[in-house]
Amino acid sequence: MDIFSQEPLPLGLENAVNGGMLPDVQTSFRIFAAHIRKVNAQWSFPEHHHPMFELNLVLEGSQQMRVGEQYFVQGQGDLIWILPNELHTSLGVVDVGSMEYVCVHLEVTDPWFRQQLSQIKQTLHPIGSKMESVLRPILTDLAQMARTNTSSSLSLKLQTMHASFRIFTALSEILLDEVDDVVQHPKDSSLASQLAERIEHQALTTTEEQPTFGITQIAKQLGYTPAHCNRVFHKAYGVSPRQYLSTIKLRQAKLMLMDPTLSIEYIAEKLGYKDLSQFSKQFKRWTNLSPTAYRHLSW
């Protein structure tokens, strides 16, 4: 039987005695700009923010970090967890001497998983804490890989991919342990989920006749003001509705480009772009690659 057949598989319900169904899961989890760095007492890093989660583990020495409006002294073995779009900066080494750290950025596109990770509000996880204990072995392995870097490029990529799955698993375990302790606001959480569903539907059904995204229309359909919807969505997912729409379109574009039977013109049309040039420019802004170049990398 063709496993990719579109025909529904027989469920065999006539002979079933008992059973259950698990939820469908579709997620993309990317490690970005993972690095190790040893610095002297004069080093610091300017204030910045980005749409990714960040893990920062001090391997040697200590540093002072500012995340949002809070200041933290991060000693050897302490872990910092930074949420998407949080302003943060390293003010440098606390004492005279040097400091070494490993830093990993995590791009999470699945809205539900992103929402759950955003519930981890604690920034500093000291040595010996649950989150530090689970993640430290993975981060120190990444640091060792970056430090030695003697493997072939293929081997190094596979090792990094393996580490990314380990981080994914570790964060899932942390969430499972804390799931009963997370304080949710059911009304806001439900609204954020409805917004995500409608944005995703719009991203995948955009036509040339109705190409423009508008949170105003969606908010009106749900009976809320656009400002309230923007606030609730950003609190739940760490990005604006428009940024989330871009994430969905990029994910869909990448999936379609991996299918050699689909022309790039067809993909641009399906995603609601008025012409190939507009789609190509947007895709290059997202990935720094043209659609054609990305397709060649995927084959």
Which pLDDT score is estimated for 4? Answer: 42
Q: β-pairing, 63-67 with 70-74?
A: antiparallel
Which pLDDT score is estimated for 15? Answer: 66
Domain boundary among 128, 151, 178: 178
Q: Which domain holds residue 245?
A: 187-298
pTM over 0.75: no
If asked whether residues 234 and 291 sit together in one domain, one would say yes
If asked whether residues 84 and 206 sit together in one domain, one would say no
If asked whether residues 153 and 39 sit together in one domain, one would say yes
C-alpha angle 197-200-249 in degrees, rounded to nearest 5: 160
Assigned token pair, 169:
């698993």
If asked whether residues 48 and 150 sit together in one domain, one would say yes
If asked whether residues 52 and 155 sit together in one domain, one would say yes
Domain boundary among 138, 156, 178: 178
Assigned token pair, 60:
């040697």
pLDDT (tens digit, 0 to 9) for every residue of the chain, 299 residues total? 444 445 555 555 566 677 777 766 666 778 888 899 999 999 999 998 887 899 999 999 999 999 999 999 999 999 999 998 889 999 999 987 899 999 999 988 777 788 788 888 899 999 999 999 999 999 999 999 888 876 677 888 888 889 999 999 999 999 887 655 444 455 566 788 888 888 887 776 655 555 456 788 888 888 899 999 988 888 877 778 888 888 888 888 888 898 888 999 999 988 888 889 999 999 998 888 899 988 887 66
d(CA 211, CA 217): 13
If asked whether residues 281 and 254 sit together in one domain, one would say yes
> Cβ distance 149 to 156 under 8 Å?
yes
Which pLDDT score is estimated for 81? Answer: 97
d(CA 101, CA 61): 9
> Cβ distance 102 to 58 under 8 Å?
no
| Exposed / middle / buried, residue 111 (Cβ in 10 Å: 0-12, 13-18, 19+) | buried
In a domain, 15, yes or no: no
**Total domains in the fold of the chain:** 2
Amino acid at 52: M
Which residue in the block uniquely carries the two structure tokens 């079933």?
Answer: 16
In a domain, 291, yes or no: yes
Q: Which long-range contacts (CB under 8 A, 24 or more apart) does 194-202 make?
A: 194/222, 195/222, 195/229, 195/232, 195/233, 195/241, 196/111, 196/233, 196/237, 196/244, 198/222, 199/241, 199/244, 199/245, 199/248, 200/111, 200/248, 202/245
If asked whether residues 209 and 81 sit together in one domain, one would say no
In a domain, 214, yes or no: yes
Which of 251, 284, 256, 286 minimizes the C-alpha distance to 268?
256
| Exposed / middle / buried, residue 217 (Cβ in 10 Å: 0-12, 13-18, 19+) | middle
